[in-house]
Structure formats: C-alpha cells, structure tokens
Amino acid sequence: MTAYAVYDVFTDRPFAGNPLAVVFDAETLGTQAMAAIAREFNFSETTFVLPPEDPAHTAKVRIFTPSAELPFAGHPTVGTALALEARGKGAEQVLELGVGPIPVTVAGGRAEFVTRTPLTRGASPDIARVAACLGLPECAIRTAAHPPQMAGVGLSFCFAEIAERESLAAVVTNLAAFREAADLYSDRANFGLFCYTRAGSTVQARMFAPTGGIPEDPATGSASAALTAYLATLEAGDLALTIHQGEDMGRPSRIETRAEFADGAVRSVAVAGRARKVMEGHLTA
C-alpha cells in the first residue's frame, strides 16, 4: 500500500494554511492514476514523490491539481520538503520539478526554496474584464504601480492590485467572466487571478482559479514568488515581502519571499514558510 501524508502549508498551526497531500514512493503510479488520486483528494495540489533522475538529488516530484499537472508550485514544494525531512531525507534537499531542480533548505519546521527561473511577462488584461472576474467596480483596481499583468516564474498568473483592503474582502467571483478571461489570456486549467493590497513590505492577497477547479486558494507560493519578482523588477531593487493569504476564507497563511535584483533583472526568488502534518494513511486502491 502506498503511504501518504496531509500537511497544512504556510502556517504553524493545524487546519489553517493550504492543505497538501504528499504521496510517497509513487513510482508504481502512472500519470492517469496520479490525476485520479489528485481529484480524489480535491486539494488545490497533490504531490507524488518518485526517485530522482539524478542520484545526487533528493527526489523527483510531480504536482497535480484536480484538473491538470503543474511544472511548479510553491506550497507543494515547501510541504513536500518538510514531509521528506520528517522521513529522514535531510535538511538540504534538491527537488526535481517540471521547471528543473529546486534547492530547498529545511530548519526548525520551516522550509525555504530558491528559484532562478526567469520572470516572464505576458498580456496586460483589460481592467474592466479583471473587475468583472472579481465582481468589483473598475475603480477598485489600482493601476499606479502597474496595470493588471500576466507574469510568472514557471507558472503564470494575472496580478491585479486592489485599492482598498475592504474591496479585497468583498470579492465575489464571476465564473463566466473567468472563462472569457482564461480563453483570452491563458487556458481554463491554469488561469489564476492573484489580487492584492500592499502596505510597504506587507501584502494581503487572494487567489482565484475557478476554471482550474480552485474557487479560491488559501496560499499560493508560486504566485507569491512571481509577484515578488515582478515588483522587484518594477522597482529595480532587492525586495522582501510578507504575504498574508487565506484570511478571507478562514485559512490564514503566511508566505515570506525575497527577490535579489542585479544587472537589470531578478536573479533569484526565495519563498519560505512553515507546515504542520495533520493526517496520514495509505492508498488502498
């Protein structure tokens, strides 16, 4: 029987943060079986741990949402590293993801990974369309720092700054508008809208991807990494943020990020957080 554990990630207490199922010793499972298991857990992501292709690395990790496989995601990287450390894999790890090897350091119940995947930018979605997705008036979208923007460091999101925290809390998503936006700017499985307010180094955020089976995500490390890289690029300097997510859905999360900027570009982004194991078991099918 294949063992699994469920961790709540980007939190230091159970039943907060973003739940993650980690399936160990998954080399006997095919892609279709992994996809079916991810649908059964129905978390925003489930990871499957396989032997590494490079024996110098810790493990190969495949990441599935309920509807698609992802090349990279933040809370699965943090949660899987902490789960592997608990099983004796050590504090210094290298996880093979779809974007390549990612180094992770685990210490004191906290994991930090570093990605050097370059920031990519895509379309700048129409403000009216973004506002319609969120059920907000157009004036709620703040454009002083940047307009709505597609960007990513391995996985692309649409970033939109919201003028007021009250407006962020008042979001009511419109699935039809999301479908139209996904068809225009990404695809229905992977279109995520990350909206946020910022006060200095503190960010309050929400992420919605209903066309990909995620009505709202409690913590999105890959989007947090991309946002930090994007803002550091706009500001042309190093940047450290503390990103609070999930508060409006009752699963508060805390994500710490750092971007290093040099020679006109972001050279690396670090993402860190804690996790708590909340259950474990075995697959029987």
pLDDT tens column, 252-273? 999 999 999 999 999 999 999 9
Q: Going from the N-terminus, what domains does the chain have, and what CATH number goes with each?
A: 2-111+274-283 (3.10.310.10), 120-273 (3.10.310.10)
How many whole angstroms separate alpha carbon 272 and alpha carbon 231? 18
How many whole angstroms separate alpha carbon 238 and alpha carbon 72? 23
Opening angle at CA 283, ends 75 and 274, nearest 5: 20
Sorted by sequence, the CB contacts under 8 Å of residue 244 that are 6+ apart come out as 202, 203, 204, 205, 252, 253, 254, 255
Catalytic annotation, residues:
45
CB 133 within 8 A of CB 174: yes
What local confidence, expressed as pLDDT, does residue 285 receive? 81
Q: Which residues of 178-206 are buried (b: 16+ CB within 10 A; e: fewer)?
A: beebbeebbebbbbbbbbbbbeeeebbbb
What local confidence, expressed as pLDDT, does residue 212 receive? 87
Binned at pLDDT 50, 70 and 90, residue 79 comes out as very high
Does the structure show a pLDDT above 80 at 235? yes
CB 244 within 8 A of CB 226: no
pLDDT tens-digit readout, 124-144: 999 999 999 999 999 999 999
How many whole angstroms separate alpha carbon 62 and alpha carbon 48? 5
Query: What pTM value is reported for the model?
Result: 0.94
- Token pair 């259950």 is found at 279
